[in-house]
């Protein structure tokens, strides 16, 4: 079967037309390509600030965001390029932001910590745990307005160390907030392995202890993630309250890079195990088995490379902010 | 405390010297865990409030905890434990309990971490009686102040500017003996003005003052080293001679510089000696943007320090 379609009809926009594995694969490939390029650009000194690559976890952003509609809100964190792209921010504006330009999503102020009101990406916080109550607030707005919209917040397994996350879990359950917490459980918190600081690695028992509906899913299987997210979203929209989605996954590169790629070393067997379960490869194998033509999948990779190259070209030619921009927007004007 | 690696060597030395010292952080050196044991070297979840709260309790019951918060922005997560508890206990119990503990963190660097994680909150802690605040201007003083901090009788916040690592004299840093809190350091001498520079701003102030000296204008350059206690006497006696004050900081004017000025205005005769000849070379009253295109305008630069001294030195109409 040969499918002749542009995998990125609206540039970076993902998941607006429901879920199918080919589109999901395309979006994951786009994010993967993006992250590879952003790391190169960081090493070259073009990208501003630290880079926390999302490589290995793409299925989670894509599977979840494909379950959302325009009115829903999302909250991300410092490892947020994948969430932003999957939610449909402009790749051009995201890249311009990472390069510190005026026409970036946040005028160059935020670098990776982006927001985009156009797609209800409220924030990408650099403070672990802090975004979770903020997402609960967006869920509160939906509840007050009766809009049926949901709020999704992405957190790492490390986020469960933060007290305010526990406070929010309890509050969201008690108030039946239309909130979905997506916990990307990669078993690491920077250089620290989660089992060093948690009683065990079964994180689902924590939200269950707060009486929240909780599901665990293979975070590298985009279809499984999507199904879990779609159920959680449906429950939230129908007034059944919040869900905690634990998605087991792994960062196959590293936690973070500044000037040079990180020299972080993972246990070889562990890395090999996860590389074998790479979310893109998993989807690729499944698509081939279902009869998708090789050349269609190869075309996805080419289209992703072209799309990312175009975004980089856009960002490189984007203007720098003016010196006077330092102190603009500290205060909001009266509406 | 990876922003200034030499501090880890000093802390290791102190851990060896005093077995009541314990270390809490979200990541800890494996060699420390091996040498000192996991009871003393505690790798914690990302639970800053619990870490600092536990430090308070451990300090009250005989230990000397050192908590590395990593970024100074995270100090805002632990304000309740620090302000309502650590800083209050000795007073609240009329001296019955003390909480000797050290909280370390990194202030602004040239790492483009952006509006959230590039902050200099030490001015906030100057408003909290009961907490000592150390903001060293050199790697050597950072090490010396860490050594004194772990010997103090109450809570200490030690703020480290990542830029201190640049060109640091490591041998001098490692061997620096403890320095008493509340003793400023005179880094240049002259009558043209008194330049007071804090933490990471000491280096650009040194450069600005050196440039002026090359043109025959010499100033006192004072690095207070600790903001609480503040060596008001050293500052005041310099100002009585120079009559001109330039405050230099990586943080906003409304933080530590404003606090220092208010302390000086409380010294009898000093407002008159200054006669309004006060200048600030600080970060603007706005968050720190990520893009270097903007961030470059938020640092106290040597030229701005020199220009401020010249401006104050001009005879006034
Ligand atoms: C409150 C707070 N403490 C510490 C940090 C420093 N920090 C940045 S990322 C990180 C590890 C986070 O691990 P996790 O939440 O599992 O996310 P992952 O990096 O694995 O995606 C830490 C400790 C922070 N950003 N915020
Ligand atoms: Mg993690």
Give yes or no for residue A11 having a pLDDT over 90: no
How many other C-beta atoms lie within 10 A of the C-beta of residue B314?
A: 8
A158, A196, A248: residue to mutate for ligand 1 pocket, most atoms within 8 A of CB: A158
B48: CB partners within 8 A, 6+ apart: B69, B74, B77, B78
* Residue that is last in its domain, among B156, B175, B194: B175
* B211 plus B167 within the same structural domain: no
Distance CA B130, CA B153 (A): 11
A137 burial level (CB within 10 Å; 0-12, 13-18, 19+) = middle
| Three-class SS state of A11 | coil
- Are residues A91 and A116 in contact, defined by beta-carbon separation less than 8 angstroms? no
Check whether residue B158 and residue B20 sit in a common domain. yes
Which of B113, B145, B175 delimits the end of a domain? B175
Range of weakest confidence among A2-11, A114-123, B42-51, B264-273: A2-11
**CB contacts, 8 Å: B46 with chain A:** 128-129, 158-159, 161-162, 189
- Give the whole-angstrom CA distance, residue B26 versus residue A190: 9
With respect to CATH, is domain A21-319 assigned 3.40.50.970? yes
- pLDDT tens track for A255-275: 999 999 999 899 999 999 999
pLDDT at A8: 58
Which residue in A190, A50, A103 sits closest to B290, CA to CA?
A50
CB-ligand 1 contact for B73 (6 Å cutoff): no
Is residue A4 pLDDT above 60, yes or no?
Answer: no
Same domain flag for B60 and B162: yes
Cα–Cα distance for residue pair B35/B96, rounded to 1 Å: 34
- Structural domain contains residue B180: no
> Do the domain assignments include residue B140?
yes
Ligand 1 neighbourhood includes A128 CB (under 6 angstroms): yes
Residues B258, B165 share a domain: no
Q: Are A54 and A61 in contact (CB under 8 A)?
A: yes
The answer to whether position B1 is within a domain reads no
- Please check whether residues B142 and B12 belong to one and the same domain: yes
- Render pLDDT for A32-65 as a digit per residue (tens, 0 to 9): 999 999 999 999 999 999 999 999 999 999 999 9
pLDDT-based confidence at residue A334 (cuts at 50, 70, 90): confident
Tell whether the torsion through CA atoms of A276, A282, A284 and A290 is positive or negative: positive
**For residue B156, how far is the Cα from the chain centroid?**
10
DSSP at B37: -
Give me the number of domains chain B comprises.
2
Clarify whether residues B193 and B165 are in a common domain.
no
Helix (H, G, I), strand (E, B) or coil at B201: helix
pLDDT at A308: 97
Which atom of ligand 1 lies at the shortest distance from residue A129's CA? 1
Contact between chains at A160 and B77 (C-beta distance less than 8 A): no
Question: A170: burial class by Cβ within 10 Å (0-12, 13-18, 19+)?
Answer: middle
Q: Say yes or no: B215 and B123 in one domain.
A: no
Note whether B91 and B195 are same-domain residues. no
The verdict on the CB of residue A201 being under 6 Å from ligand 1 is no
pLDDT of residue B167: 86
Cβ partners under 8 Å of residue B296, min gap 6: none
Q: How many CB atoms lie within 10 A of CB B133?
A: 25
Is position B70 within any domain?
yes
Same domain, B57 and B202: no
pLDDT at A2 over 50: no
Where along chain A do its domains lie?
Answer: 21-319
Q: How many CB atoms lie within 10 A of CB A117?
A: 8
The pLDDT tens digits for B53-82 are: 999 999 999 999 999 999 999 999 999 999
Residue B150 belongs to a domain with what CATH number? 3.40.50.970
CATH number, domain containing residue B189: 3.40.50.920
Average pLDDT for B164-178: 94
- Residue A245: beta bridge partners? A182, A215
Ligand 1 center from residue B218 Cα (angstroms): 47
Place of tokens 């594995």: A21
For chain A, count helices (H), then strands (E): 12, 8
Distance, CA of A132 to CA of B156 (rounded, Å):
31
Q: Are A162 and A131 in contact (CB under 8 A)?
A: no
Residue in A317, A320, A313, A325 with CA at minimum distance from that of residue A91 = A313
What number is the average pLDDT over the span B189-195?
A: 98
DSSP notation for B218-281: --EEEE-SEEES--HHHHHHHHHHH--EEEEEEEETTTHHHHHHHHHHTSTTHHHHHTT-EEEE
ipTM value: 0.96
- Of the candidates B118, B149, B175, which is a domain's last residue? B175
Q: What is the pLDDT of residues B4-56, one digit of tens each?
A: 999 999 999 999 999 999 999 999 999 999 999 999 999 999 999 999 999 99
Which residues have C-beta under 5 Å from ligand 2, the single-atom ion? A 156-158, 186, 188
Give the pLDDT of residue A18.
Answer: 73
Q: Are the C-beta atoms of residues B116 and B80 closer than 8 Å to each other?
A: no
- Helix axis angle for B256-265 and B232-242, nearest 10°, is 70
Task: Please tell me the residue having the least CA distance from ligand 1 atom 12.
Answer: A189
Q: Could you tell me the residue range of the domain that residue B132 belongs to?
A: 6-175
Assess whether pLDDT exceeds 80 at residue B269.
yes
Distance in angstroms between the alpha carbons of the first and the last residue of chain B: 51
User: Do residues B161 and B139 both lie within one domain?
Assistant: yes
Cα separation, A62 vs A85, whole angstroms: 9
Is the minimum CB–CB distance between A185 and chain B shorter than 8 Å? no
The SS3 assignment for A333 reads coil
Q: Is residue B261 part of a domain?
A: yes
Q: Is the pLDDT of residue A7 over 70?
A: no
Q: Is residue B143 domain-shared with residue B243, that is, in the same domain?
A: no
Query: Coil, helix or strand for A313?
Result: helix
Whether B133 and B194 map to the same domain: the answer is no
> In whole numbers, what is the pLDDT of chain A averaged over residues?
94
């Amino acid at each position: 079967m040969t499918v002749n379609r542009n995998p990125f009809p609206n540039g970076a926009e993902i998941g607006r037309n429901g879920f199918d594995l080919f589109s999901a694969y395309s979006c994951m490939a786009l994010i993967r390509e993006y992250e590879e390029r952003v790391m190169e650009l960081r090493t070259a000194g073009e990208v501003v600030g630290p880079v926390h690559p999302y490589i290995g976890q793409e299925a989670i952003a894509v599977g979840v965001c494909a379950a959302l509609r325009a009115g829903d809100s999302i909250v991300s964190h410092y490892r947020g390029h994948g969430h932003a792209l999957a939610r449909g921010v402009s790749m051009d504006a995201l890249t311009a932001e990472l390069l510190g330009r005026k026409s970036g999503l946040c005028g160059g102020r935020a670098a990776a910590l982006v927001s985009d009101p156009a797609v209800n990406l409220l924030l990408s916080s650099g403070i672990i745990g802090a975004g979770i109550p903020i997402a609960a607030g967006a869920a509160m707005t939906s509840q007050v307005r009766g809009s049926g919209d949901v709020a999704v917040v992405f957190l790492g397994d490390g986020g469960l160390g933060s007290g305010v996350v526990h406070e929010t879990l309890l509050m969201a359950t008690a108030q039946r907030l239309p909130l979905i917490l997506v916990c990307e459980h990669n078993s690491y918190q920077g250089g620290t392995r989660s089992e060093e600081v948690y009683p065990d690695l079964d994180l689902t028992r924590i939200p269950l202890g707060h009486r929240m509906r909780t599901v665990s899913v293979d975070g590298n299987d985009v279809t499984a993630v999507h199904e879990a997210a779609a159920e959680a979203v449906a429950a939230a929209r129908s007034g059944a309250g919040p869900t905690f989605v634990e998605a087991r996954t792994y960062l196959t590169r590293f936690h973070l890079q500044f000037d040079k790629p990180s020299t972080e070393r993972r246990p070889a067997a562990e890395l090999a195990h996860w590389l074998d379960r790479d979310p893109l490869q998993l989807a690729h194998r499944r698509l081939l088995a279902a009869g998708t033509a090789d050349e269609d999948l190869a075309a996805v990779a080419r289209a992703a490379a072209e799309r990312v190259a175009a975004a980089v070209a856009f960002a490189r030619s984007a203007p720098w902010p003016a010196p006077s921009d330092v102190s603009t927007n500290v205060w909001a004007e009266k509406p | 405390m990876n922003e200034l690696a030499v501090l880890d060597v000093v802390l290791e030395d102190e851990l060896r010297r005093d077995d009541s010292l314990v270390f809490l952080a979200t990541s800890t050196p494996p060699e420390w865990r091996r040498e000192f044991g996991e009871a003393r070297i505690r790798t914690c979840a990302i639970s800053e409030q619990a870490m600092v709260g536990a430090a308070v309790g451990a300090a009250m019951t005989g230990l000397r905890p050192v908590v590395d918060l990593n970024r100074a922005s995270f100090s805002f997560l632990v304000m309740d434990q620090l302000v309502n508890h650590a800083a209050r206990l000795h007073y609240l119990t009329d001296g019955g309990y003390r909480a000797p503990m050290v909280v370390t963190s990194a202030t602004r660097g040239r790492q483009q971490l952006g509006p959230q994680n590039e902050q200099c909150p030490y001015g906030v802690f100057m408003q909290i009686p009961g907490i000592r605040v150390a903001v060293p201007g050199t790697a050597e003083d950072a090490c010396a102040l860490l050594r004194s901090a772990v010997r103090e009788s109450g809570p200490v916040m030690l703020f480290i500017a990542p830029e201190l690592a640049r060109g640091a004299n490591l041998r001098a840093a490692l061997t620096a003996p403890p320095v008493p809190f509340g003793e400023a350091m005179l880094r240049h001498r002259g009558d043209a003005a008194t330049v007071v520079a804090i933490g990471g701003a000491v280096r650009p102030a040194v450069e600005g003052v050196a440039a002026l000296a090359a043109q025959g204008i010499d100033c006192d350059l004072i690095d207070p080293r600790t903001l609480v206690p503040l060596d008001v006497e050293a500052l005041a006696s310099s100002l009585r001679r120079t009559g001109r004050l330039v405050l230099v900081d990586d943080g906003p004017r409304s933080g530590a510089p404003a606090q220092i000025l208010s302390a000086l205005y409380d010294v009898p005769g000093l407002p008159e000696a200054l006669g309004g000849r006060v200048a600030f070379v600080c970060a603007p009253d706005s968050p720190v943007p990520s893009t270097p295109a903007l961030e470059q305008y938020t640092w106290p630069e040597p030229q701005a320090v020199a220009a401020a001294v010249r401006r104050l030195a001009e005879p006034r109409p």
